[in-house]
Amino acid sequence: MSDPLIHPSALVSPQARLAPDVEVGPCCFVGPDVELGPGCVLRGHVTLVGRVRVGARCFFDPTVVVGGPPQDEDPPAPDARIEIGVDNVFRECVTVHLPKMSGHPTRIGDGNRFEKGSHVPHDARIGNDVTLGKFVLLAGHVFVDDHARIGAYSAVHQFVTVGRFVLLGRHSAISEDAPPFLRYLRLGNTPAGVRREELTRRGFPETTIASLETAFRDVYHSGLPRHEAALRLESSPVPEVREIARVLRGSLQGRMGRAREALRR
């Protein structure tokens, strides 16, 4: 069995656990509590510290830092750790931080892409097939669900949930939960519509997309109070519409439109 390919200038702790085919480039630092799965590549000047577990075939560009303390007055939790799945790409200057809450690792799923300068904060959860554009800033405790896209230079408030298949266009900013399947094209919490082209490309039936568009109009353009509109959606025969209703109900029950605020101590 071959040994990992480690550049002479890299500092890799003897306690770190590296799969045999891992590549560690020049001037990298890998701490003692780091585990790297098969096929991972650290191109150079990458820092992995703290309790960090990385799955197979993850790619780290120069100046990525994973495992730093939270950007917060509170220290990391005693059991703080970061869990990263497989096939993720971290471009230059991406940062991923340890959690503050015990029992809640900062977690990244599979097949995600983090463009230059994007930030995954403490206690965040990232699903699968998510893209964060350049310099996207997520605040603490954010959950970004599967297949979401967040455009460059956008920001997401702490404790916000970004639903699956949501699109936040470039220079967007939201401070409330974003229900699934919708697209946001400006500052503020009001979506512009359903993400029709992407849902069609992904194979969603036309009848489902049409039902989502009707649900969008009922919630955001009917003039009904938000809780009444959400109540109407709960009886829909379309599962995707009921999914929107669940997210709306949770956000309305939370604080300031954010269901995950319940995690706040």
Q: How confident is the model at residue 186 (pLDDT cuts 50, 70, 90)?
A: confident
265 within a domain of the structure (yes/no): no
Do 209 and 199 form a contact (C-beta atoms < 8 A)?
yes
Residue 86 lies in a domain: yes
Residue 163 lies in a domain: yes
Distances in whole angstroms, Cα of residue 39 to Cα of each of 18, 168, 239: 10, 32, 38
- Give the separation between CA 222 and CA 210, rounded to whole angstroms: 16
In a domain, 236, yes or no: no
The pLDDT of residue 263: 82
Residues 202-261 have pLDDT tens digits of 999 999 999 999 999 999 999 989 899 999 999 999 999 999 999 999 999 888 999 999
Average pLDDT over residues 185-203: 95
244 falls within a domain: no
Does 228 fall in a domain?
no
List, by residue number, the catalytic residues. Answer: 122-123, 140
Residues 81-110 have pLDDT tens digits of 999 999 999 999 999 999 999 999 999 999
CATH code, domain with 38: 2.160.10.10
187-204: average pLDDT: 95
Residue 148 included in any domain: yes
Q: Is position 132 within any domain? A: yes
How far is 157 from 173, CA to CA, in rounded Å?
8
pTM for the full predicted model: 0.95
Number of domains the chain contains: 1
Q: Hey, what are 244's tokens?
A: 């929107």
Residue ranges making up the domain that contains 109: 5-193
